[in-house]
Amino acid sequence: MKKVLALTLAAAMALSLAACSGDTSSSTSTAGTGEDAADTSTSTASDTGAVANKDKPLVWYNRQPSNSTTGELDMEALTFNDNTYYVGFDANQGAELQGKMVADYIAAHADTIDRNGDGIIGYVLAIGDIGHNDSIARTRGVRSALGTAVEGENGIVSDPVGTNLEGKAPQVQDGTLEVDGKTFTVRELASQEMKNSAGATWDASTASTALTTWSSSMGDSIDIVISNNDGMGMAMFNIWSKANGVPTFGYDANADAVAAIAEGYGGTISQHADVQAYLTLRLIRNALDGVDINTGIATADDAGNVLSDEVYYYDEASRSYYALNVAVTADNYQDYLDSTVPYAPVSNQLDATAHPEKTVWLDIYNAADNFLSATYQPLLEKYDDLLNLKVDYIGGDGQTEGNITNRLGNPDAYDAFAINMVKTDNASSYTSLLSQ
């Protein structure tokens, strides 16, 4: 388990009561906790409230600012100001879990998994957004675990294969899996980016259409259906997999997907959305209060809220908080049936006198995204009450940044911002508005 790197928020930028002069003064403080490293951030708490937009707390979440081709992090965006952070989950750890979950299922069902008895375990893969780091990681994790991965210039190839019934696509290779002395060939029969005609990715309708097409030509060669998220996974499960008894695996632990495990859905991965949603707003609360950034995270706050390093860690180099993932299968799914319940250790109400109400502008890249709209936002709406934050929720169309940024016309009206981009390359579309 990775150790949490403790951070310390400096109380700084205390604006002078003589606001007419425009002068500001800053002070910093550091506090360490054992072996943990310390970091300082800048407080936006002030007597006048006259804080420049470029200095207000900014949390990127769910989509990490990065190059969609190479995966290189956009450090300019991640260090936009002293109160800028990213909140997400450990994509590689989750991807490994998803791949292992599928491989374990095959091993446990080796006597029935090969539907047509041809010795080939064939799977189809619904890829979300080919330029999204999380989607890339999940594709790589599945291929790695099933032995179908091939190495390219930038690591394991994550490109879709189209159709690959004969096993000749260059993006993948046939894998082998031995179970109880019997050797199976594992083949990626088909995969594609699930992008609709309007340009929205992770599209559930496109995924169901794709599986209908694949199943009509490949039939009982398809032994497993795998999806980069539960939204697409459930669309495919409902359109074909459930009726044909084909295990389907997704990601996100959405409530409908978890409930469907009782009906044959193979499994999913919880990315601890309850922890992520809390961190998204907690970092903002702490910055606005001018307290140590670890308050209510690694160290208890005045209401007793605190997280353990079993559910998250902090990477200082990228200023990123990552929740850890948990596999949800037939063995434990009943513990995850309600995905919108706040995480118990951080569900205590803050006192409004000590932590007065502040306003936050927060967007969701696509109002139709199943995970963000059905799981993440309901959690945010519960935490915003607990943390005394008044949040304006802006739903995008999943296609263009402009659909979102054109509703950030008055950043002066907000104390902080939480941003979920359409494309990970486009952080400057937002920071440019805050720098004006």
**Mean pLDDT lowest for which of 5-9, 178-182, 239-243, 255-259?**
5-9
- The pLDDT-based confidence of 37 (bands split at 50, 70, 90) is very low
Q: Is the pLDDT of residue 7 over 60?
A: no
Structural domains present in the chain:
14-91+272-434 (no CATH), 110-246 (3.40.50.2300)
Q: Residue 358 — pLDDT band, cuts 50, 70, 90?
A: very high
The rounded percent of the chain whose pLDDT value lies above 90 is 84
Q: What mean pLDDT do residues 338-355 have?
A: 97
β-strands 312-315, 58-61: how paired?
unpaired
CA distance 152 to 171: 9
Q: Give the number of other CB atoms < 10 A from CB of residue 308.
A: 10
Q: What is the mean pLDDT of residues 19-25?
A: 34
**pLDDT value at residue 91:** 87
User: What burial letters (b/e) apply to 129-146, b meaning 16+ CB within 10 Å?
Assistant: bbbbbbbbbbbbbbbbbb
As a whole number, the mean pLDDT across the chain is 89
User: Is residue 332 scored above 80 in pLDDT?
Assistant: yes
Average pLDDT over residues 46-57: 78
For the residues 23-40, what does the mean pLDDT come to? 35
pLDDT at 27 over 60: no
Q: Which whole number is the average pLDDT over 383-407?
A: 97
Question: What would the pLDDT profile of 93-120 be if each residue is shown by its tens digit?
Answer: 999 999 999 999 999 999 999 999 999 9
pLDDT range class, residue 49, cuts 50, 70, 90: low
Residue 46 has pLDDT above 90, yes or no: no
Q: Cα–Cα–Cα angle for 39, 304, 281, nearest 5°?
A: 55
291 pLDDT higher than 60: yes
Task: Report the pLDDT value the prediction gives residue 71, as an integer from 0 to 100.
Answer: 83
Portion of the chain with pLDDT greater than 70, in percent? 89
Q: Categorize the per-residue pLDDT at 28 as very low, low, confident or very high, splitting at 50, 70 and 90.
A: very low
Mean pLDDT of 402-422: 97
Structure tokens at 273: 């959305």
Residue 132: predicted pLDDT: 87
Phi-psi region of 416 (alpha: psi -120 to 50; beta: other; left: phi over 0): beta
Whether 132 and 285 have beta carbons less than 8 Å apart is answered as no
Q: Averaged over 177-181, what is the pLDDT? A: 86
Q: What is the mean pLDDT of residues 345-355?
A: 98
Nearest to 188 by CA among 248, 241, 281, 126: 126
